[in-house]
Each structure stands twice: as C-alpha cells, then as structure tokens.
Amino acid sequence: MANFAKVLDGNVIDIVVADQDFMDTFIDTSPGDWIEAFPDAAGDPEKRYNFCGVGDSYNRVVDAFYPKSPYPSWTLDTTTYTWEAPIERPSEPSRWNEEDQAWVSVE
C-alpha cells in the first residue's frame, strides 16, 4: 500500500492509501493530480521532502510537500522545506510567541 495526495493549485485536498495497481487504473474526473506521498520522507528530496496532510502545500517545480506556515513571521527553508522561526530556538523547552517575536520558556 502507498499514500497518494490529490493536489489542486498547489494545495493538498485529499489523501488516500491504495495499491499502485489501483491508482494506475483509477478514473478520477475531478480536477487535480494524484501524487505519491512518503510517510518516511524526513527531509529526503527523493521522497518529496515531507509527508503531507490535507491543507498542506505542494511545489511542483521542486517536487516538495510542506505544511502551511505556523506563524506569519516564519520563513520557508527551501533546502529542507521546513519552516524556521526568525530567531533560533533555545535548547530548553519553549514555545513561540508571535506577538513578541520570541521563544518563551515552558518550564
């Protein structure tokens, strides 16, 4: 079994788990393309960088899935297709405070 994401206009709109044989013969007349998604992608460009879920994005040019930005101030690292905060996360447990643009300790 494999995972397939239905992509329309750069957005993942559906996910199915099916055999490749099924997808090869599946007739879908709705708009969008089915693209294989790999649960173990973990930053691997040959596996489209990330696994995906409904609502995530897909960049066809670089063949990469990535989630929506968690905060407006974060930027997309286009070598890993992960989001990065404007400042490095500290080693102690913390959460991002968008209003203050800072990491806040959770201890």
- 19-44: pLDDT as tens digits: 999 999 999 999 999 999 999 999 99
Query: What is the token pair recorded at 13?
Result: 């709109």
Return the percentage of the chain with pLDDT > 90, whole number.
97
Give the model's confidence band at 84: pLDDT under 50 very low, under 70 low, under 90 confident, else very high.
very high
107 has pLDDT over 80: no
pLDDT > 80? residue 105: yes
Per-residue burial over 31-69, b = 16 or more CB atoms within 10 Å of its CB, e = otherwise: eeebbebbeebeeeeebbbbbbeeebbbeeeeebbbbee
Listed residue (95, 11, 100) closest to 54, CA to CA: 11
